[in-house]
Amino acid sequence: MKSNSTKKLALAGVLCAVAVAGSMFSFPVFASKCAPVQHMVNVLCAVFLGPWYGLAAAFAASLLRNLLGLGSLLAFPGSMCGALLCGLAWRTSKNLWLTLAAEVFGTGIVGGLLAYPVAVAFMGADAGAVAFTAYIAPFLVSTAGGSILAGALVFTLQKSGALRSLRGALEH
């Protein structure tokens, strides 16, 4: 049991590092910095580690990105909502399409809506100047790109049989 937890924690750390390093490849969309690698990592965490490790990795990556000046406070609601929802989707269904849709919905819609109060409360955004739905479009752009990358990678791993082997290595 301890070895299993150690493997999962190590993989979560590696995926967190990938998300932080990948955030250097971000691009602006309206008032948001889009980092699609974070969303790819969310899906990979869902498939390999489950919702709670995915949520923890998203939180750690968001925190590190903010401490290193590579992200904004908006990284928290976006990445964490997507990580949790896609982790729960994978856990309950093992369906890749549903997991990808849950990442897009969790980040793009739920995270986009939660970004508004974060921006107003902590980032000094003018509530009148920023529409309640202002963060949905950039979050959808970011998560769609990352979900496509993750979908291609996980689909390839499934087709080759490597996904079963990798998941089995984490279980034992």
**Residue 127's pLDDT is what?**
65
Which pair of structure tokens corresponds to residue 42? 């969310």
**Residue 171's pLDDT is what?**
82
**Residue 89's pLDDT is what?**
98
Burial (CB count <10 Å: 0-12, 13-18, 19+), residue 68: exposed
Measure the CA–CA gap between 139 and 36, rounded to whole angstroms.
9
- Tens-place pLDDT, residues 96-150: 999 999 999 999 999 999 988 888 888 877 766 777 778 888 889 889 989 999 9
CA 144 to chain centre: 11
| pTM of the model as a whole | 0.90
